[in-house]
Structure 1
């Protein structure tokens, strides 16, 4: 009895396994036979600007180093590093005792010479022939000589004042090489300050006009034909990551750099930007160079790309079957990617669920754009 009961249980277990197996098999076969539904796009050409992103350096058209025009000790420094100064501001003053004394003497000599000539002319007019012509000529010569000496004295005195040649921002006072010790080959340097002795030609400080800034960068040779004066350039805003500042090319080098196989390009930073002090000379920024505003190209949604160790591919549909097509991608435009090669106009490319299908699968188009 027990044996029959046991055999009955085994029978029902086998029967259940049979139905489960064949039921799943039928479902699996049904799934294989039933095409998967996918969304696709019909590949078209669209107009997108051809651009490249390149690092650039901010530079100034007016960025000079001011040097001493006379020898002597520095007596005053009237600025701080980074301070904005107006044109004509006295920045550094060098001792002027001798120059001031010479200026006062030259002014007195000039005034005497002028008064002598004036007096001679009055007398000569009131009493014709009382002053010899040679005396008048000599007085005029003396006045001219005194005027020349005064001009030299004024120039020498003015050379003791280092003035801003234009509106700009001051740099740091430069270092000065000290006299070398006869027993040592080591050169020592010290920062210039009040009391430092400088000679004619000693470099003192830099001044930069931040209102005449431009960016400079290098463009590969293959893009040279796109480079023209006035072509659009987009500058990254350092304070707003996703904001661009529009400007244009002002210079393209005529000769190629043989070392880098590139051309040097400059783009002016707009005047309105200077008021916010977003850029400073020497800063590194990223720029987007627009090469072709109306370039037609094939694009696909970024989600349709299938990455692999060999690059990218897309899944196209040919006679209801999934086909893997290797592609070469170009620039990205928001959610779309330019395709340089691989697919052509009119191809159907799967845009969703690319991870749910495989090459060779049968598919059914659900939606087409």
Structure 2
């Protein structure tokens, strides 16, 4: 009997202890307070970023136009030259001899032609007097015409020889920056082989070549036609550049060429922009990133930069879903404009994105929006029916 009483007392004591502990348990903490922005469509500058390569606006390959030995390189490599400036001198002695021989042939032909003309002049009155036959006169006229043809041929050969002699002085076909010499003094160059001597490139202004997917270009055209995107003047589309290290290139260029054919191997359309290059920062072959100002998207979505978290899987934000539960949303961002990221995918109008309080908010847990009224606590009258 005493054992039963002890067991009962112990059970009662444990129950009372549990009830006291339950009554003394602290209340659950309130949901963390956060600040949100509600996504609304806005006008956003449409910027398309594409990789590109720099190319000279004009390039001239200086090649040999005559056979001979290079006597001298006149220019200094890597300097600016003007059109018509002497670059190389090829041994002219053989070509000068050919020119003098052609000149001698021309003078002989001219003398023969003058003699034939004098014969015709003497025969002409004699034909009317029948002192000579018509056949002799016709033969003299034919000789005169043959002499005139020989003069024309000799003059053409002399002109050709003079041109060939002039080709021994190799001059710059265009103005620009001349490269290194591809031949040395004493080298044999060939006209038939078109031996490359050097190159000249014009670097100011300069081109940037890049490509855009044909599907993206088609979508852009459809959006412009539907009025969703307000396009710029197609004759003056602005383009900006970022260098290899991310440094922005200050002068702004413009789009000056859009190919009307799609490359079958890559499915892209070629584009080209022209940029001022007064300080020669841009060099042919250099890799850059071009940002094409495509127009204004009237349905653009932006989100403050502080609301976006960049991770190994890309960018994400915390949005408030049903029952005020914070949820991670993967998004795709475009250009950073001011303090906002342009969102190209993942958000829609009406979404509520957390911008402040991200450190306290946990995915899958409830949050409370700053400024919102908390739910009213249940009053005793509301908790229990009134006693009559």
Same fold per superposition (TM over 0.5): yes
The answer to whether the 8 Å contact 1:317/1:349 transfers is: yes
Q: Who is 1:223 aligned against?
A: 216
The secondary structure found in structure 2 opposite 1:355 is coil
- Distance in 1 of aligned mates of 2:314 and 2:245: 35
Distance 1:342 1:142, change over 3 A: closer
Structure 1: give runs of 5+ residues left out of the alignment.
Answer: 1-21, 175-191
Q: Who is 1:350 aligned against?
A: 354
The structural deviation recorded for 1:45 is 0.8
C-alpha RMSD of matched pairs (Å): 3.7
- Distance in 2 of aligned mates of 1:49 and 1:116: 80
**Of 251, 256, 264, which aligns to 2:263?**
256
The answer to whether the 8 Å contact 2:70/2:186 transfers is: yes
Q: Who is 2:187 aligned against?
A: 196
Spell out, residue by residue over 1:240-292, the C-alpha distance to the aligned partner (whole angstroms, 9 max, x if none): 9234423114032613343xx3414232324xx14332322222222113345
**Of 261, 264, 268, which aligns to 2:273?**
268
The answer to whether the 8 Å contact 1:53/1:287 transfers is: yes
**Of 180, 188, 201, which aligns to 1:208?**
201
**Of 250, 254, 276, which aligns to 1:247?**
254
Q: Who is 2:73 aligned against?
A: 77
Distance 1:330 1:281, change over 3 A: same
The secondary structure found in structure 2 opposite 1:351 is strand
The secondary structure found in structure 2 opposite 1:267 is strand
The answer to whether the 8 Å contact 1:65/1:203 transfers is: yes
- Distance in 1 of aligned mates of 2:346 and 2:65: 68
The structural deviation recorded for 1:319 is 7.3
The structural deviation recorded for 1:91 is 1.6
TM-score when scaled to structure 1?
0.72
The structural deviation recorded for 1:42 is 2.0
The answer to whether the 8 Å contact 1:214/1:266 transfers is: no
Q: Who is 2:380 aligned against?
A: none
**Of 34, 47, 55, which aligns to 1:38?**
34
The structural deviation recorded for 1:157 is 1.1
TM-score when scaled to structure 2?
0.69
Q: Who is 2:242 aligned against?
A: 236
**Of 356, 364, 370, which aligns to 1:365?**
370
The answer to whether the 8 Å contact 1:322/1:363 transfers is: no
Spell out, residue by residue over 1:186-244, the C-alpha distance to the aligned partner (whole angstroms, 9 max, x if none): xxxxxx21111223322222222335632122323431323796444322368992344
- Distance in 1 of aligned mates of 2:267 and 2:290: 16
Q: Are 1:315 and 2:313 counterparts?
A: no
Structure 2: give runs of 5+ residues left out of the alignment.
Answer: 1-20, 127-136, 222-230, 373-388
The secondary structure found in structure 2 opposite 1:103 is helix
Runs of 4+ in 1 over 6 A off after TM superposition: 118-128, 237-240
The structural deviation recorded for 1:318 is 5.3
Distance 1:249 1:265, change over 3 A: farther
The answer to whether the 8 Å contact 2:86/2:171 transfers is: yes
Greater Cα offset, 227-236 or 357-366: 227-236
Q: Which has the larger radius of gyration?
A: 2
